[in-house]
Amino acid sequence: MAFLAITALSLAFTKDLFASVMFTGIYSLLSAAFFVLMDAVDVAFTEAAVGAGISTILMLTTITMTGRYENNKKYHPKIALTVVVITGIMLIFGTVDMPAFGSDTAPAQVHVAPYYIMQSGEDIDIPNIVTSVLASYRGFDTFGEVVVVFTALVGVLGLLEFSRKESELGNAPAPMSQHKVLRIVSKILIPAIMLFALYVQFHGEYSPGGGFQAGVIFASSIILYAMLFGVEQASKAVSMPVTKVLAALGVLIYGSVGVVSMLNGGNFLNYSVLAENDITGQHVGIIIIELGVGITVATAMILIFLTFARRIGKNSEETA
C-alpha cells in the first residue's frame, strides 16, 4: 500500500508525460498485486491485463501525438490543495464508522453474498463463483458493460477514423524491419498468446478468467503484431471492416441469448429455459454469452488501438 502511495505522489509531480504513463502502469500492476493479496484473483487478472497493458499503450500513442512534456503551471494551486485536503478530512471522518478490515460480520458480507456462495453450486454448478454471478445472477449488468465497451468503440471510431481523408493513408510510419530479434521472438509468441486467450476464455468457469480477460489478451497479441510489423500490414491482416462487424456481432450474440430465453418462456436472460435440464441450460447460456463478451472486447481493443495508430500517421503528415 505504501508503494502505491509513493507511486501516485511521484506521478503528480512529474512533468515528463512519458514517465507519468510509466507510473500509471506501475500503479496498475501494484494494485493488481494487492488484489491477489485480497483473494480477488479474477479482478487482479483483469486489472493487470487492462490497466497495465491496454491503458498504458493507449496513453503512449496519445502522447506521441500530443506532446511529451506538460507546461509549467503559471500559479501555485492553493485553492485546489485546500479543496483536496478538506475533502480528504471529511472522508476520513466518514470512515470512522466503517467495519473493521476483514471482519465477517460486516454488512457487505451478510446479505446477498452468502446466498450466492451457497446456492451457486446447486443452481449453476460451476466452480468459479465470480463467473457464475457475473454471467448468470447479474447477467444484465454484464450486458450493459458489453454495450458500454461497444459504445466506446463507436465513439473512438467516430472521433478519429471518419474525419480522416483516405489520401493521407499512404505515408504510414515505417515498420521496424531492423529489429530482427523482436520479430523472431514475437512470431513464436503471438500464436501462443492467442492460444492462451482461448484457454482463458473457455476455462473461465473453473479458474480465474472469462470473457473480458480473454478478449484483452487476444487484443494484446494483435497489438504486438501491429507494433512490430507496421500498422498497415496489421490492418490488412485483421481486416478492419470485418472486425467492426464482429464487434457488433458480439453484442448481438449476448442480446439474442436473452431474447431466445424469452421466446422459450422465461424472463430475459434466464438461462434455465434454454435446455431440458436447468443446469445444462445455465452452462449453455454462460458459454455463449462469455463468447459474445470475448468477441466484443477483443475486437473493440484491437480497433481502438489501430485507430489511434493510424492517426499518428496523419499527425506527422501535418507537422512535417
Partner 1 sequence: MSIFIDSLSWALLLLGGFICVSGAIGMHRFPDFFSRMHAASVTDTLGGGLVLVGLMLQVEGQYIVLIKLILIVLFIFLTSPTASHALAKAALHGGLRPKLGSNQEEQDEDVLRSFGPVKSEDTKNKE
Partner 2 sequence: MSFLEQYNYWVVIFLMMSGFYIVIAHGNLVKKLMGLTIFQTSVFILYISISKVIGGTAPILDDKYNVYSNPLPHVLILTAIVVGVATTALGLALAVRIKEAYGTIEEDVIQEKDLQQEGSTE
Across 103-114, b (16+ Cβ under 10 Å) vs e yields eeeeeeeeeeee
Q: Tell me if 191 contacts partner 2 by CB under 8 A.
A: no
> Which range touches partner 2 (CB under 8 A), out of 152-160, 171-179, 184-192, 252-260?
152-160
Q: How far is CA 27 from CA 4, 22, 276, in A?
A: 6, 9, 48
Does 33 interact with partner 1 (rule: CB under 8 A)?
no
Q: Considering the complex, what minimum distance in angstroms separates the CB of residue 177 from partner 2?
A: 27
Q: Does 261 bind partner 2 (CB under 8 A)?
A: no
**Per this entry, what is the length of the chain?**
320
Which residue is it, cell 473453473?
Answer: 206
**What's the grid cell of residue 298?**
477483443
Least distance to partner 1, CB of residue 179, Å? 7
Sign of CA dihedral 121, 127, 130, 134: negative
Nearer to partner 1, 187 or 236 (CB): 187
Report, in Å, the least distance between residue 224 CB and partner 1: 11
Which partner, partner 1, partner 2, none, binds residue 128 by CB below 5 to 8 Å per kind? partner 2
269 touches 282 (CB < 8 A): no
Question: Restricting to residues 77-96, which ones interact with partner 2 according to CB under 8 A?
Answer: 77, 80-81, 83-85, 87-88, 91-92, 95-96
Q: Given candidates 2, 174, 188, 320, which one binds partner 2 under the rule CB under 8 A?
A: 2
Distance CA 281, CA 270 (A): 9
Question: Contacts with partner 1 in 184-203 (CB under 8 A)?
Answer: 185, 188-189, 192
Instruction: With contacts defined by CB under 8 A, name the span among 20-28, 230-238, 254-262, 263-271 that binds partner 2.
Output: 20-28
- Smallest separation (angstroms) from partner 2 to the CB of 151: 8
DSSP letters for 196-215:
HHHHHHHTTTTSS--HHHHH
Q: Which does 191 bind (CB under 5 to 8 A by kind): partner 2, partner 1, none?
A: none
Residue 217 is a binding residue for partner 2 (CB under 8 A): no
C-alpha cell at 264: 422459450
Query: Could you say whether residue 179 binds partner 1 (CB under 8 A)?
Result: yes
Least Å from the CB of residue 70 to partner 2: 4
What, of partner 2, partner 1, none, does residue 182 touch, CB below 5 to 8 Å by kind? partner 1
Q: Would you count residue 17 as binding partner 1 (CB under 8 A)? A: no
Q: Which of residues 108-127 bind partner 2 (CB under 8 A)?
A: 108-109, 112-113, 116-117, 120-121, 127
Radius of gyration over every alpha carbon of the chain, rounded to an integer in angstroms: 23
Contacts of 189 by beta carbon, 8 Å cutoff, 6+ apart: 221, 224
Q: Using the rule CB under 8 A, which residue among 182, 237, 245, 263 binds partner 1?
A: 182
Spatial CA neighbour of 21 closest among 70, 91, 80: 70
Distances (CA, A) of 266 to 123, 137, 204, 274, 288: 16, 14, 26, 9, 17
Can residue 251 be called a binding residue for partner 2 (CB under 8 A)? no
The region of 56-64, 176-184, 226-234, 243-251 touching partner 2 under the rule CB under 8 A is: 56-64
> What are the CA-CA distances from residue 262 to residues 64, 271, 276, 278 (Å)?
48, 9, 15, 15
Please report, as ranges, the residues that interact with partner 1 according to CB under 8 A: 179, 181-182, 185, 188-189, 192
